[in-house]
Amino acid sequence: MKKILLIEALANSGPYVLDAAGALGAHVFVATHEDVYDSYPATLRDKIHGTVFTDLTDGDRALADLAGFAKATGIDAVACCWEFFTPLVAQLAHRLGLPGNDPRLARASRNKAEMAQAFAAGQVSAPRTVSVRTAGEAAPALDAVGIGFPVVVKPAEQGGSWGVSVVNSPEELDTAVRQAQSWPIAAPHGLPMDQRVVIQEYVPGPEFSLDTVVWRDEYAHLPVVEKHTTGGAYRAETGHTCPAALSPADLRSLRAATERALEALGIRNGVAHTELKLSPEAGPVVIEVGARLPGDHLVDVVRRASGIDEARAYLQAVLDEKPDVPAPRKGRARSDSSPRRVPAPSTG
Ligand SMILES: Nc1ncnc2c1ncn2[C@@H]1O[C@H](COP(=O)(O)OP(=O)(O)OP(=O)(O)O)[C@@H](O)[C@H]1O
Ligand SMILES: [Mg+2]
């Protein structure tokens, strides 16, 4: 019986991971804080074999506590669902000698300022980006590197598009930067967030996400998902279509840009969720990568469309087993408020 240590299960993809572990016959031990565990629904608790409580806001202490627990319990693999814990997973896997991402680069998968630096170093096709600590620094920083408007302003650390806005003129910068700094901690653990703000070129074009299972330096790409959003200053997601209707050339170029981004971030085991735009002028541009499963129930959307269970493939990769990523079956799924399957188009 394999044993997996999952750092926090209270996340959109948590139930998918727990179900996949059950199907693989593995036991899952969840690392969380006692107060957070108190808020777990019974349906989640029922899928968990055991727990280890620690303070996940204190990285050194959590690493020491979880390494001790993993050794005593005979843990075979470390996983997570939440972007903010991906660096801790990389460090813990490294400490335990288990498969994982490069711990030296792992913060760049959580922090958009560090991600921009890693992308520049790795010559990844990504928007030019500056990072600032105060609203007053914003206009001079953009001038210094010659970035014009519109720009996108976002917190270095957050998710769910919180604090992200499209800014069309210098007069709007001040408010946008302050807004991006409005969430200094992330619930439910109270993790402190980097208060820097990243400002980057606005990339036009349709938006996609591409999930990739990484195992022993091999990339297995899942079907591309098109993301539909509202326009305007604050982009809200309105739905997803899987698989996206793409030409073979566009599919190849999205995959190539993704692979370059994963290399730049030292992602060498597990799963990655890459968000890209297909710019009419620049081609594929990587907006961000998370070293984790997607949110928004995209695990379900992809599974309904293709038959591929990426939570299962993720766990197989961290267990160092060959992931099951079969060729997708023909189909298409759309999600708006809730995912549903729609008939396959005649072209497949
Ligand atoms: N440089 C950019 N050019 C154009 N649009 C962008 C850019 N950066 C972000 N966006 C838009 O804003 C959305 C949210 O940005 P981003 O993904 O960086 O933040 P996030 O908080 O991680 O959001 P989420 O969790 O919703 O993915 C993107 O999905 C995209 O629609
Ligand atoms: Mg995003």
Tell me how far apart the alpha carbons of residues 254 and 232 are, in angstroms, rounded to a whole number: 25
Atom 25 of ligand 1: nearest residue by CA position? 160
Q: Which residues are within 8 A (CB) of 249 and not within 5 positions of it... i.e. 6 or more apart? A: none
Atom 22 of ligand 1: nearest residue by CA position? 159
How far, CA to CA in Å, does 133 sit from each of 185, 194, 293, 314?
Answer: 16, 10, 30, 36
Q: How large is the greatest C-alpha to C-alpha distance in the chain, in angstroms?
A: 60
CA atoms within 13 Å, Cβ hemisphere of 198: 23
Q: What angle do CA 78, 81, 83 make, to 5 degrees?
A: 105
| Ligand 1 center to 161 CA (angstroms) | 6
Asked if the peptide bond before residue 150 counts as cis, ω within 30 degrees of 0, the response is: yes
Q: Which residues pair with 237 in a beta bridge?
A: 229
Tell me how far apart the alpha carbons of residues 197 and 112 are, in angstroms, rounded to a whole number: 9
Tell me how far apart the alpha carbons of residues 60 and 243 are, in angstroms, rounded to a whole number: 41
pLDDT tens track of the chain, all 348 residues?
A: 999 999 999 999 999 999 999 999 999 999 999 999 999 999 999 999 999 999 999 999 999 999 999 999 999 999 999 999 999 999 999 999 999 999 999 999 999 999 999 999 999 999 999 999 999 999 999 999 999 999 999 999 998 889 999 999 999 999 999 999 999 999 999 999 999 999 999 999 999 999 999 999 799 999 999 999 888 778 778 899 999 999 999 999 999 999 999 999 999 999 999 999 999 999 999 999 999 999 999 999 999 999 999 999 999 999 999 999 987 777 777 777 444 333 333 332
| Ligand 1 center to 91 CA (angstroms) | 27
| Ligand 2 center to 71 CA (angstroms) | 35
Q: Which ligand ends up closest to the CA of 279? A: 1
Q: Token digits for 11?
A: 């996340």
DSSP string, 263-320: HHTT--SEEEEEEEEEETTTEEEEEEEESS--STTHHHHHHHHH---HHHHHHHHHTT
Q: Which ligand ends up closest to the CA of 295? A: 1
Radius of gyration of the CA atoms of the chain, in A: 20
Query: In the CATH scheme, what is the code of domain 3-101?
Result: 3.40.50.20
Give the ligand 1 atom nearest the CA of 158.
Answer: 21
SS3 239: strand
Tell me how far apart the alpha carbons of residues 13 and 174 are, in angstroms, rounded to a whole number: 35
| Ligand 1 center to 237 CA (angstroms) | 10
At the top level of CATH, which class does the domain 128-201 belong to?
A: alpha beta
Atom 14 of ligand 1: nearest residue by CA position? 161
Give domain limits for the chain: 3-101, 128-201
Listed residue (137, 136, 131) closest to 152, CA to CA: 131
| Ligand 2 center to 190 CA (angstroms) | 21
Q: Which ligand ends up closest to the CA of 159? A: 1
SS3 332: strand
Tell me how far apart the alpha carbons of residues 196 and 109 are, in angstroms, rounded to a whole number: 16
Q: Which ligand ends up closest to the CA of 154? A: 1
Listed residue (304, 309, 248, 257) closest to 282, CA to CA: 257
| Residue list, ligand 1 pocket, CB within 6 Å | 127, 152, 154, 158-162, 164, 200-203, 207, 229, 235, 275, 277, 287-288
How far, CA to CA in Å, does 69 sit from each of 31, 51, 52, 72, 73?
Answer: 10, 10, 7, 5, 6
What is the rounded (10 degree) CA torsion for 165, 166, 169, 173?
A: 20
